[in-house]
A and B are shown apart, each in its own frame.
Chain A
Amino acid sequence: MIVVGGGHAGLEAALAAARLGCRTALVSHARAEIGRMPCNPAIGGLGKGHLVREIDVLGGQMGLAIDATGIQFRVLNRRKGPAVQAPRAQADKARYQATMAAAVDDQAGLVLIEGDATRLLAAAPGDPVDGVGLADGREVRGQRVVLCTGTFLRGLMHVGERRTRGGREGAESSEGLSGELRRLGLELRRLKTGTPPRLHADSINFSRLEPQPGDRDPRPFSFRTRSFSPPDHLCWLAYTNERTHALIRENLHRSPLYGGIIEGRGPRYCPSIEDKVVRFADRSRHLVFLEPEGEDTPEIYVNGISTSLPSDVQCALVRSIEGLERAALVRFGYAVEYDSAPSWQVAPTLECRRVPGLFLAGQLLGTSGYEEAAAQGLVAGVNAVRSLGGQPAWIPSRNESYLGVLIDDLVTKEISEPYRMFTSRAEHRLHLRCDNAETRLLEPAAQLGLLPAGELDRLRARDRARARILACLSGWRTTDPAGGPACTAADILRRPDIDLHDLAEIVRDGAGLRLALAGIVREELGDGSESLLAAGLMIDCITSIKYSGYINRQRRMLESQSHLDGLAIPADFEYRSIPALSNEAREKLSRMRPATIGQAGRIDGVRAADLAILTVLVRRHRDAAPPERGAP
């Protein structure tokens, strides 16, 4: 198997494939570029942190890598409900890359080939892809190819009026593959994204800025991280002001975005500072975060002022900010435009519908973000290997994971801007939490087989402990301190603002309950180094109890919808012959080929009436189909 691109998607794809026993080549431009973070020096956040937790439980690398190289850890939304809390960490970029490169080197069965892939090989036109050709003429053969080329395809960088070819700062673009993809019948579209300037730490007046430390009790991303005492470097808050905004407005005509030079679509939720000033004209200031790029570099990332204005304007606007009056810009912000392949062209396995054997993942498929890329890399890598071995595809579902939400959204939504994960995209959000990733994904993790056996055993032990803790809490009879009827410890936990500490104070024989719970944890997990896993487990248990009423209620409400996800549409279903469907629905359904009625319903432009008709016809198709004659 061949993975092209050693970014966040490519790394997970290649590592997963090799771990599953497949001889894998990772073709990437330069070893030094592997696992690079071209933008934010951070991993995690809302939705994204959820993805990393899931990737970790399934046996991916990202969680371990950030735990080993993070320099500040924080749980976001601490004061809000557990479903919308997520870990985020500032990364030491250089060390993160080194850790990832080491993981590649150490992985048996995985070889790194440095080079620029320019061609996709096939025995004959229309045949499955069976290799890639490099710019220097070398050819690499393999039965599956996973493309994870990020922002590199025909990448074009903009700083003001200045345009340069390149995948990102300091890196050549990749010019060959776009033509190859088009030749194979794929549609490509221009997208764009941008990054802010970097400042030299010594030029910043930190005394004028508001410091933002990490959590005092940092929590790791990975359940496999045993001992955890990361450094805690400060980030800083600053604010733009009316002067900054006036400067931007005066120079808007020099922004390639507003000058109409950039044709690609950028993300709405990650607007450039130009966008913010134009769209939120009534706001007198915007928040800016200063984040260190690592321990051994003076570079500071300026989160919040992503821009492609010319360098003189960038300088002036940064210096208009209090505390940054003398700031030295070590890198300018820029925007990059690139080719992406609209994701309706892939199946939920991330294999191209039109090109068997070719898988796509990451920014190339229209997403944005390291975590989103890594999640797809894992799914593509796993499914590429499974398809080689004739195993059934693994398709995560929406009610089990954010991975499922991501994949389902990719294959059902017409994505017009780079796709980023949000918790509000998950209708089962109360269930899809960071604290219970181990619970939710134990089964798939066992099925995929990426985790070392010992780690899987720990997950199983954790699961047993969980069941026993829940049983213990809901069987612990006690009197109601508020004077209500007799109840259980679980009933009391369900009340707002009651945590485990309060519980032990309130219930009958609280000390006994503590002992019983500790006993369960010790028996199942052992003590000492296991305390991280155990701490996470208790949060999972408490939250599950607190949320159970809501989750059940919401499940009931969504039941009819989940049922639709069980109604499969035959792969050869012919939409064009159904005149009753609206034109739009017919066109989109034949293009996107949803796997279930539920998926069909999530496609924009497919109305309820279309679905009803489809349901009836799919039933008839199924009832009329001859009995299975076995796989061809």
Chain B
Amino acid sequence: MAILESGTVVAVATPEGEGGLAVVRLSGPEALAVARRLLSAGALADPVDSHRARLALVRWPARADTGGPEPGTPLDQALVLPMLAPASYTGEDTVEFFCHGGLMPARQIAAACRAAGARGALPGEFTRRAFLNGRLSLVQAEAVAELIAAEHAAGARAALAQLTGGLNRQLAAVEGPLRDLLARIEGALEFSEEDAVGPSREDVATTLRAARRQIDDLLDLAPAGRLLRDGVQVVLVGAPNVGKSSLFNALLGADRALVDPEAGTTRDVVTAPLELDGVLFVLHDTAGLRDRAVGVEAKGVARTRETVAGADLVLALRPVTDRAQPAPALGDAPAGCPVLPVWTKGDLDPAATGMVTSSRTGQGIEALRRALLDHARAGGVAAAVARGVILNQRHQDRLLACRETIDQLLEDPGAGDEVAATLLAATLQELGAITGRVFTEQLLGEIFSRFCVGK
């Protein structure tokens, strides 16, 4: 892995697929020079006023190295923000372009920068540079990665809390008593001749059990961490024509899926994000389940089953007009995955009771949204946000390893004090590696591998 590259690099720094403002980041020793080639003389005149944005017309450079548009072609009216080293994200001279026109002009500006001498940034390169220039600690770097992954408010809040030490605090609470215990055991081992008495088996077991409970508590937040990062996966299933696509659209408040009186309209899974109260949901509209499906429809049904297998919550839809209809068969839902029965087309039977919705009148849609949120909270999302802890796979693996060691010590009567002390010390080392107090090289790779392009 070539971790470090030199030169001046450029990339679009806002996530793909996001509307609104797009940012192009240009960073490196030549950043100012490259930017000047795209701007009218004087727009970035020396001495450059750092951290003051100015509106400027960005053009294709006059003497571009390679093809592209005519030299001097206007690209976008952008806010140009120069930031001089070391007071920038990367710690290098940086120029950021805020394009009003969204992604297309942003890409063009990045291309123009490349034509003017910059190089496209490699994945994670800005963050790596920031890191190498001492602008980010390891934990911060990781939290930034979380932040980038969490494009919605709740995830971002938890990631931000992490940045300010949520996880560190929780781990410190686990470590403190273990460290204390270790010191007492060690004392008795080294100074047994001099009357030193170590903790009793009871003491040891009590402390270990308490630590284990705390680790369990933290691990309980792991699923919430995933929900926060990747969103709550909500899958709409039901017989053909029950109104799945209509409800999908109603929940989103936008027409994303095709609706038709014909049964079997939806043939493949349609997916769309929905943010409610800062929590990210990912809705999946599916092909209607029917027993005797053939051809394309059969494939659609197979895809439905796959989607159900990855669900955090299944909405099982039936129309109020046919209350005798059996609930959809959900053999593929993950064990423990909650299934919420939802009645559709409520407008056709005003007497219906239960979670009744109507995509036509909007009846029950708000209630269903609230039900989704309640579900997410039950999944620990609120607790994770409150405690400022998002566990990623690495955290989980290490915590599991620690728990395993503690279990081994609790269960193994043959493990003497010297074994307990040695394994405890190794466990504390592991815990330290979570917060980056203890450095492992893998950590570096793990963290950097999680940055997406240009961040």
Contact = CB atoms under 8 A, between A and B. Distances in A.
A and B together in one complex: yes
A430 B422 contact: yes
A495 interface: yes
A620 B4 contact: yes
B132 A617 contact: yes
Interface in A592-629: 597, 601, 607-609, 611-613, 615-617, 619-620, 623
B202 interface: no
Interface in A69-115: 76-77, 80-81, 83-84
Contact of A609 (B194, B430, B436): B436
B393 interface: no
Contacts of B194: 287, 304
A608 B431 CA distance: 13
Interface stretch (B107-115, B313-321, B358-366, B412-420): B412-420
B190 A554 contact: no
B419 A81 contact: yes
Given A554-B426, A560-B440, A620-B4, A81 B416 contact: yes
Interface string B119-151: 000000000100111111110000000000000
A497 B132 contact: no
A560 B132 contact: no
B328 to A, nearest CB: 46
Interface string A545-588: 01100100110011011011001000000000001111000000
A496 interface: yes
Contacts of B423: 550, 553-554, 557
Interface in A488-505: 494-497
B439 A554 contact: no
B427 interface: yes
Contact of A427 (B405, B418, B425, B433): B425
Contacts of B414: 494-497, 546
Contact of A80 (B2, B418, B427, B441): B418
A543 B275 CA distance: 59
B421 A616 contact: no
A236 interface: no
B422 A429 contact: yes
B134 A557 contact: no
B401 A608 contact: no
B439 A80 contact: no
A77 B189 contact: yes
Query: Chain A interface: which size bin?
Result: 35 or more
A178 interface: no
Nearest to B412: A496
B200 interface: no
B172 to A, nearest CB: 15
Contact of A564 (B91, B132, B426, B439): B439
Contacts of A553: 405, 408, 423, 426
A611 B414 CA distance: 38
Contacts of B132: 580, 613, 616-617
A237 B276 CA distance: 74
B418 A83 contact: yes
B73 interface: no
Given A80-B416, A80-B417, A423-B189, A579 B438 contact: no
A46 interface: yes
B401 A620 contact: no
A601 B444 CA distance: 15
A211 B160 CA distance: 65
B418 A429 contact: yes
A188 to B, nearest CB: 30
A80 to B, nearest CB: 6
Interface string B395-410: 0000001000100100
B195 A287 contact: yes
A80 B195 CA distance: 14
A623 B422 CA distance: 37
Contacts of A422: 186, 190
A424 interface: yes
B425 to A, nearest CB: 6
B134 A558 contact: no
A557 B190 CA distance: 24
Q: Which of B132, B190, B414 has the most CB of A within 10 A?
A: B190
Given A579-B133, A612-B131, A423 B430 contact: no
A439 to B, nearest CB: 18
Given A561-B429, A608-B436, A567 B134 contact: no
A554 B131 CA distance: 31
B192 interface: yes
B432 to A, nearest CB: 8
B430 A46 contact: no
B437 interface: yes
Contact of A608 (B189, B192, B439): B439
B441 A567 contact: yes
B138 A609 contact: yes
Given A81-B417, A430-B418, A608-B437, A613 B131 contact: yes
B418 A580 contact: no
B443 interface: yes
Q: Which of B138, B401, B408, B439 has the most CB of A within 10 A?
A: B439
Given A560-B440, A612-B131, A424 B4 contact: no
Nearest to B427: A557
Given A424-B190, A615-B444, A579 B421 contact: no
A447 B442 CA distance: 33
Interface in B1-23: 2-4
A617 B134 CA distance: 13
Q: Which of B91, B414, B429 has the most CB of A within 10 A?
A: B414
Given A76-B192, A423-B189, A580-B133, A564 B441 contact: yes
Contacts of A76: 192-193
Contact of A430 (B2, B189, B192, B419): B419
Contact of B186 (A424, A430, A616, A623): A424
B451 to A, nearest CB: 14
B426 A427 contact: yes
Interface string A515-531: 00000000000000000
A81 B416 CA distance: 6
Contact of A612 (B193, B429, B443): B443
A564 B440 contact: yes
B422 A608 contact: no
Nearest to B195: A287
Interface in B53-88: 86
B65 to A, nearest CB: 26
Contact of B190 (A304, A423, A619, A623): A423
Nearest to A554: B426
A317 to B, nearest CB: 18
A560 B426 CA distance: 11
Interface string B434-455: 0011111111100000000000
Contacts of B413: 496
B418 A560 contact: no
Contacts of B137: 607-609
A557 B429 contact: yes
Nearest to A74: B193
Contacts of B415: 550
8 A-B pairs with least C-beta separation: A496-B414, A580-B134, A81-B416, A560-B440, A608-B439, A611-B439, A81-B418, A557-B426
Interface of B: 2-4, 86, 91, 128, 131-138, 186, 189-190, 192-195, 401, 405, 408, 413-419, 421-423, 425-427, 429-430, 433, 436-444
Given A560-B433, A563-B440, A608-B443, 9 more contacts: A46-B189, A47-B190, A76-B192, A84-B417, A427-B429, A550-B422, A579-B134, A580-B131, A616-B4
30 contacts: A46-B190, A47-B190, A81-B416, A83-B418, A84-B417, A84-B418, A424-B421, A427-B426, A427-B429, A497-B414, A550-B419, A550-B423, A553-B423, A553-B426, A554-B423, A561-B438, A579-B86, A580-B132, A582-B134, A607-B137, A608-B137, A609-B136, A612-B443, A613-B134, A615-B439, A615-B444, A616-B128, A616-B132, A616-B444, A620-B4
